[in-house]
Amino acid sequence: MALLQVLISGLSLSGYYAVLAIGFGMIFATLRIFHIAHAAVFGLAGYMFFLFHRMYQIDIWVSGALALVLAAVFGLLIDLGIYRPLLRRGGGTFSVFIASLGLTLVFESVALMLTKGTLSVARVGALAPVTIGPVSFRWFDVEVVVPVALLYAGLYIAVMRTRVGLEIRALADNAGLAGVVGINTDRTRTAIFLGASALAGLAGIFTAYDSGMVPTSGMDLLFITIVAVIFGGSRYLFMGALGGSIIMGLVTALAGFLFPQWVTIIVFSLLIVLLIVRPNGLFG
């Protein structure tokens, strides 16, 4: 029964990873940007949700909506204010990566100064447990997994069946040719950053309500998310991000149960082995 408990916990973790992974993977696959500042977007949403709901006592749905909007706008401003100017001035992908990393470290430092590193939990009281026979789990885990599954289905339909989705896929296949055939790449890029940042914000809200936020929460979760994206491979974005996230959720839950002090070593050792065996990922 302990194994079943770990499985449920792993699926819940997979929901967090999947939401963050599809946003990160979307930016990486289409724009070739290693968007480390995705962690800062995640952190901003989590802290804003905590501020609105816990500190100002604003309704949970209103607080969540405000935090999502702020996350989407913040992600877009990162692109408009940092990435695009850098690229226009001849900066390469490495310059963009360094700027993204720098912004994330600045965000963590500011969050540390403001919060003193204390845990910021948006909810009041414990999460309600559900017991079915010998198995216990939190109802909140269901409230994470089910919406994430529905969100994935909706995103898949949007990307595969809408004009904006077609433009996103064209940009991922060949950015230069997409502009030549008349696709407004700036508009598509804006849609990508808004959508991906909102997804990071959703993960931040879930985390703030569940386990709480510390200044490094975004980077801690993003590292595992990046491993999930690499595990799945970026060729088939949705399948890769979802498959990699489920694997990483189960691996981290099982490793945390059996060898809690070895979680990081196990995760990145698996990544190294996979890169050697399948450099393009499981679905690459």
Closest residue by Cα to residue 230 from 156, 267, 280, 172: 280
Closest listed residue to residue 13, CA positions, set 205, 229, 195, 225: 225
Q: What is the mean pLDDT of residues 90-106?
A: 93
Q: In sequence order, what E strands does the chain have?
A: 129-132, 135-138
Q: Which residue has the tokens 């599809």?
A: 22
Confidence band of 176 (pLDDT split at 50, 70, 90):
low
pLDDT in tens, 232-248: 776 667 777 777 888 88
Range 191-196 average pLDDT:
92
> What separation in angstroms does the CA of 7 have from each of 64, 78, 237?
28, 37, 24
More confident residue, 122 or 13: 122
Of 71-85, 174-188, 268-282, the one with minimum mean pLDDT is: 174-188
Cβ-contact 217, 47 below 8 angstroms? no
**Which pLDDT score, from 0 to 100, does residue 142 have?**
76
User: How high is the pLDDT of residue 91?
Assistant: 85
Counting Cα atoms < 13 Å in the Cβ hemisphere of 202 gives 23
Confidence of residue 159 (pLDDT cuts 50, 70, 90): confident
DSSP state of 127: P
> Which pLDDT does position 234 carry in this prediction?
64
Give the mean pLDDT of 167-176.
73
From the list 231, 229, 204, the residue with the least C-alpha distance to 41 is 204
* Mean pLDDT, rounded, for 26-48: 93
More confident position, 257 or 186: 186
Q: What percent of the chain has pLDDT over 70?
A: 90
Q: In terms of pLDDT, which residue wins out, 111 or 179?
A: 111
Exposed, middle or buried: residue 7 (CB in 10 Å: 0-12, 13-18, 19+)? middle
In terms of phi and psi (left: phi > 0; alpha: psi -120 to 50; beta: otherwise), the region of 135 is beta
Measured at the CA of 250, the angle between CA 247 and CA 252, to 5 degrees, comes to: 105
Q: How confident is the model at residue 134 (pLDDT cuts 50, 70, 90)?
A: low
d(CA 120, CA 215): 10
Output the pLDDT for position 236: 67
Residue range 62-79, pLDDT digits in tens: 999 999 999 999 999 999
- For the ranges 134-143, 147-156, 200-209, 249-258, the lowest mean pLDDT is seen at 134-143
